[in-house]
Structure 1
Amino acid sequence: MTHDSPKHTKLLSFHGDILTFQCKLPNPRDGEIRRGSELAFSRLTFQRDGCTFLKGNGGMAVINRKSSSNVDIVACTFALHVKNRVTSPCILLIQSKGNVFKYSLLTLSISNRLEPHMEFKLPYRMKDNVTILQGPTVLWSHAGIVFYTSLQAGEVRQIPIKLSLNCIVEFPLNKRKIFILGYQTQSKECLEDHLDAPGGSKTMGYFVEDGQVFNADLILPHAYSSITQCVFVISAEEVNSVLKSTVVAATSKKQLVYFENGIPIEVCLLPFEEPQHIQMVNTGRNGCLFAIYFNDGHVCAVWKDTFQVASCWSGVTSLHVDDFLSCGTDQMLLVFGSQSPLVDPVDLFLITDLCGTTYSHGQESSEGQQASDTAQENYLLTVQALQSRLQSGLTLLQDLQSDVRVKERVLRQSVQALTDLVSGREHILTQTEQEGLVSLWEDEPEDEAIHEKRQVMPVMPPPLVDNLWHRVIEDRLIVGVILSTESAIIYFCSSAAESVTLSILRERGQSQTPAVIQTHSQASWFPTPSPSTPSPPSPYSHPEPAAKRSRRTVASGARATHRLAVTAMTDLTPLLTSGSVKCPIMLHYVHRQGSSASVTAPGPTVVQCGQIQIDIQVKHHRQLMTNSQLTTDEAREDLLSLLAVLDAWTFLIHSPDHTLCDVAGWIQTSIPCERLEISPHYLLANPAGPSAVMLFNWQHKTPFQGELSVHCSQFKVLQFLDSLFGFLPASCSILRLRQGGGDGTVPRMAHSLEKEVLSLKQGVSSLLHGEEEEMEEVKKSSGVKKMEPPDPGSAEGLQRCREEWQRDKERSRRLLSPLVGVEHYRRLTQSLTQVQLEGDVAALLETQTLI
């Protein structure tokens, strides 16, 4: 076997590219004697224009400097490095010398270098079920026993049970991921400490991380365990210590079976035998595919929704699933065998998703390829045109809304001026520039003096940040900023808090990805602690009228006791590319016209708040989770972090028959929770960990109505509502409100659409009304004439028949294409345009409410 043999070349798809690994052995015919064996790698990137894979950067590493050892590639895949939290390609090599087999696991780093990860020796050659999973952990089977090794294990270990192996897979669980599945015949060895089953053949499962052994019939029934050849895990989760899973398995009976919790749901007959592995292809809106690779180079694709065979191929040397076109969805890459070993490893190939996207080289005609390219380009151009049209329409609607607000403000000031004139009071005019108006007298000296005075006025400083903090809750990062009281009063009001956002930036030089990290930001007001903080109101107390309450608030200056907090939440996983990450934090806000800070030009402004440092080695202890009586700044930050990371649900509870019961008291008695001292309106329930935290906020509106806000996960809120329905009387109704209380935008949009349909129907009917009346008159007149049918035998009767036939022909033509008046049609189009504009405004308000 020469050094150019294809058996020494492995292909691996990674991040939309193809990585080729080739083991080059020493060749005595070379001009210069090569020092031992080498492992060369290169990166191939697909180019749509030429429909070829272009060779990119690569490298080479010396494996063995002694020419007497044979080196070969055992397995090649990508796995998660647990220490660095980075997924990287892994290559397992074997060096044989006599009866000693030395194995080396290498990883390809971000700097495009092959780095040794670990080495181990075995007295035999690996042959069956060689798998590389997260860790990286190498697993294989030999003589009916499964072995594994990793840096964490430090040695080669074997599982304590002997299985007829079905598969070694990686489950998407939090802690236990590496899972071994097989079946075992009756044996009392190694099972007495784990299971109490006396005998019989059973399907067994084994978690490598904690060594747990259990009956795996809930994953794969025992009837299928002896014929299953490969398994693919779609989803898995642990609910109340019970493993729930969805898997597909390919059997030796030419079947693809879909299992849910160990129950077969769907079965598809496969066209080939001896399946080797299964992959899932996510094509986006068109659904998902299962790509099955068989022995002897056969490939079959099965739709997940219909569970029917979509297409088949033969002569395939390797199958890869990745986003090779960089379009956001997956495609299949089928590499076909080449006649000459000197040809590139990816010379004959086919890229397809079976949804209209196909690129091939040496497999299909160029006409089909060009048609696919044209369809793809037309699709992209259509989407871009629709997006531009939607953006222009939204911009136009926003401009119209701004004009309407200006007109309403001018009308209100005009009415106020007229009222002052009639009452004999002196009316104070505001600055024209402040109202967005332009004076008609440009040569007035007073205006110039005012303009010069406004130019020399000092510019207000940016808002001051009192505190910058961050929290890590599970896999999410929450960053918060608390503004000073003076800045919050000067720059923002309760209606303008939505315009304040935070942005998290990635420090320069760490990655080539965009600097701004995608975040979800929100702003909220909270009261500052004071010695005279009132206790939470009684559930049966009634609030005072809004007008009286607003006067007292303005008069006493109570708004100064509130502060503004802005939080931003993002996914933590993309940030953990190294042990420590520094992220600058930016505050965005918009100057509002008419505010005390509007001496500067209105518009968006950005303020740098500082930077945070994320260290995965540091454990974040949330004090509020252990002590609800804290009133420190850290406890307030914990509360704001929980409000940012938890989902919010708001419900309106109405009791029409009698006074509403004490909901807050029932929550405290039925659910173990405590009232937060830092914010007495909230009740905190913390049974086990951040994922199970629940926050409650009960507000009594009237004796018969109240509003309940629940902050928790969707599963938890369903359990809570089930208990709440059992507590409330049958006459009570629970209505879910939108965030912010709802403003009736849905009924408004429905009414607008209904009005648009009725207007169109009535308008078209009015256009055709005149034609219908004319047709009725013609029918009546023709009915009268039918009483005396013409005699076609005479010349006069024949002429009358021709005239009547001509009139029928003209009536049919006018019925198929009626003519309407221009003025009537113009009025109809104007009225329909006005109705459609109202519908567009309602749709825009509904969209903003959802956002």
Structure 2
Amino acid sequence: TTSKQAMSSNEQERLLCYNGEVLVFQLSNGNFADKEPTKTPVLHVRRMVFDRGTNVFVQKSTGLFTMKEENSHLKIMCCDYVSDFRTGINLPHIVIQNSKKNNVFEYFLLILHSTNKFEMCLSFNLGYEIKDSLRVLNGPLILWRHVKTFLFISSQTSKVISVLGNLSSIQWAGEIENLGMVLLGLKECYLSEEECTQEPSKSDYAIWNTKFCVYSLESQEVISDTYIIPPAYSSVVTCIHICATEIINNQLRISLIALTRKNQLISFQNGTPKSVCQLPFGDPCAVQLMDSGGGNLFFIVSFRSNNACAVWKENFQVAAKWEKVSLVLIDDFIGSGTEQVLLLFKDDLNSDYLTSFKITDLRNINYSSEPSDCNEDDIFEDEQDNRYLVVPPLEAGLKVGFSSLRELRQHLLLKEKIISKSYKALINLVQGKDDNTSSAKEKECLVPLCGEEENSVHILDEKLSDSFQDSEQLVEKIWYRVIDDSLVVGVKTTSSLKLSLNDATLSLLMDQAHGSGFRLLKCQNRVIKLSARPFPAPYLMPCEIGLEAKRVKLTPDSKKEESFVCEHPSKKECVQIITAITSLSPLLAFSKFCCTVLLQIMETESANCLKNHYVVCGRVVLSLEDLSAGKYLLTFPKKKPIEHMEDLFALLAAFHKSCFQITSPGYALNSMKVWLLEHMKCEVIKEFPEVYFCKRPGSFYGTLFTWKQTTPFEGILIVCSRNQTVMFQCLHNLIRILPINYSLKNLKSGSENFLIDNMAFTLEKELVTLSSLSSAIAKYESYFVQSCEVSKGKSSVIAATLSDRREEIHPYRKKLQREKKKMLQTNLKVSGSLYREITFKVVDVQLKSDFAAQKLSNL
């Protein structure tokens, strides 16, 4: 912080700010209490701090230094703080002049330590009096001017040295990094004989005869005379404040602020004027920089007319102005961490400088020794004088807002770039392409598309290569059909691959124009399994998903997942199809489009470890010409029945599906097949005898039925129709032929047999979970798992009645009760974390079994 000094009327008192304190130096010929005067002069110092509670400056501590010279004429020359070369710490100092006989003048430089002890750092004698341009620089080093020569002396050499370089004035002196102590001022330039042929005018001579330069005290030479201030300004610049310096190509570049005799504040950057501010008062003499925090920087300008003003650095506008100011100090006086300006005003009634003052940061900090006046005229006048105080915070807020918008825009662009590269890198990896120029970067930004945990987000080449080796055995065929406004893409997998909706996802990646990446299409996935065995065959039914929340697969949209499965077919008797359905209209806007079909298969290796396989199944290419020619298009009505198995699966995937339980207590349901074959004109699909294809003309044509009669009086009917209107028409037609006192119930959760199986399975899983609580009963886990598998195998072969199926649950219930009793009687000790984990598993599996029992009880 740049400091300023003040001098009282007797020229024996000076003020200095240092580390938030105000130091008051006073030179007197008596003691500090001004009792009886003595012949020995004494230098006193008071440390004053601002008390925000009482709104006054209070004395913190004092110190004194006794001068040895008696009957001497002492005078304070200046005070400031500089760095001591021994420690590098900035310390306050004061320079005192002693007038001796025979025109001999002695000068003392005293340094004040934190203990209020003065140290004589430098003293020297001169045969003349220093009258102007006295400066104290880091070292400490004293610089002054005598006649037309600048001289200096340091505490290290104790020898007076003349400054070479023909400097006529010095506007700034200080230390620059990598250059040491330097002087910035005007240097006299001598014209050559050719330049003197024409006699220049006085104004031309004043301009071109001087030039700003930078002089090094260490090397005693001029190190730069360019990129400072243009020669046209040399005659008007009176004071300089350097803001920043840098060396480019061995050339010093300087950014500075200059005061001129035209009452202007000018900003120069590398010798070029950038901004100009017309000051509100005349004859400026000093400029200081104040940082009030939040990016708000102000130049505080002092004038010889006892005025001051603040100029905002950002836009070079006057922010505030003050009159009748005797001293301007800048420091952190209230301990807020930012700087404030202390304005000391003249008070004719009181000689103490710290009685009339104002502390402000030109924002929200304002302290004053004067009580606030509620006069409206005064308030209006203050608002007019400080109208610019509101401008800096507002502009600072706008800057922060624009900066936030720029950061948000960059963040969004980065996200789009990462997503695009992730798709491209994923496709390149699964297709086995080798792109040496971009593969490394694309692998870095590859992100999980299926909700994997953070510790498994990266996809290793070894895992993908394993999927490539199995891709031929996993996928047998790919096909696609167009039904109304939907594109249905199907993949036939091998019978050895057992899949469910939670295990497989079929995605469509559309090639972007100009090869800029891939766009993921919104799809609805279904897994369809049909048995090719003749009747009696297991019925066609919806696959129960369970209580777990459906994961979002590759798209942000939640999908309605349904599938058709055969009850327990053998591997050779079941056809398994995975389908993806998407809207066709947005794709036809491209006239011709191409999609890559990607199959993701998730396998559970352990309890908390999932392994993904990615298989590229092929490409789908479709254009308006293909649709106009009827290629890949399923239309209704149609004279011939379903010709290809792919058409059947396309209908099953795209149609609306409903499952109904039909019960007739008094009459057998023998008329159902008559209704299907005669009334609805259905044909049995040869490859899949359980599916009936309706050939009745009109809206019924193409409807698919599946009828499974579990008992003579009960059965399950599944209707696959183009829409719900057709489904209601089918039910209305069916009601006419059903026996009296029939019951028709919509099974949203699945059939009764399926719920019984699910109930048994959840009870078995609950037993296995409970058995894991104790190592002593761990053998039951394998036993229960084996019994589960055996019971499942039996249930696929034995066709039992509803009462028999319910009796199968009772043994598991008895085992469950015995297991709970044994667990309660066993004194088990486990860690808290293991107990919480086991408790969570038990509660989770019990919740599923309770929910399955609730569904079963509602039938």
| TM-score grouping bracket, smaller chain normalisation | 0.3 to 0.5
TM-score, length-scaled by structure 2:
0.41
Rg comparison, structure with higher value: 2
TM-score, length-scaled by structure 1:
0.41
